[in-house]
Amino acid sequence: MPELHGFTILVVGASGGLGRETARQLSEAGATLVLSARDPAALAALGLPGTIIACDLTDPAAVRRLISDAVAVTGHLDGIVVAAGVVAFGPASDLTDDIIARLFAVNTTAPMLLLQAAHGSLSASAAAGRSPFFLTLSGLVSESPTANLAAYSASKAALAAFGTAAGRELRRVGIRVIDARPGHTETALSTHPISGSAPPLPVGLDPVAVCARIVRGIVDGERDLPSTAFTRDPASQPAARA
């Protein structure tokens, strides 16, 4: 039997590189998916099984509505993967008010509102014995803030701090908060920043292997996936499908 059979999982940012691959692997593990991003056409093009719900993460009302719509799909919600994010490159002195506001709206505030809105549903899942979780991807920059990524690093560090504190609060009701912090991964995020342009970057981690590690952490009941949990050594990663 698949390890996540009976779980309804919302993947936010499912059209992005890590969101798409995590959703695919969760589906293979037996989960029922709710797929969300800004563009419903991009979600439909993924060809993944699941219910599509478009959402603008910069709109707090839409973020809260996303949770109620996701719960309505099967009547329960057992996990949320927040794989959405935006990045801005360049020196801190070049940042504008709008760029800072958008970085924090998408990378920090939206996950906070998602967890707040989902508290009741995830608590009900715990009461039903289904081990609910809320997973964020703050990434390596939350551990090691990076020059020319100052505001992005700050938005992700704030997300990691929120998850750490909220996880301590929610442990008592059976909700597991997980933060994943892989290093630079070969996705398209750096190719469409909201400001600036990416410098030359080293070859990143394999997104299939990164997502396999994330899904393994979900299934195995882990509560933290630091940067050291992600490695380039294929022998230490779960086997990935071609």
Q: Which residues are identified as catalytic?
A: 152
Tell me the backbone φ, ψ of residue 11, rounded to 5 degrees.
-110, 110
State both tokens at 90.
């360049």
| Close Cβ partners of 34 (under 8 Å, ≥ 6 residues apart) | 8, 9, 10, 11, 50, 51, 53, 69, 70, 73, 77
Q: How far apart, in whole angstroms, are the C-alpha atoms of residue 64 and residue 130?
A: 22
Contact predicate 209/217, CB 8 Å: no
Q: How many CA atoms lie within 13 A of 128 on its CB side?
A: 14
Q: What is the DSSP letter of 140?
A: G
β-pairing, 32-37 vs 176-180, is unpaired
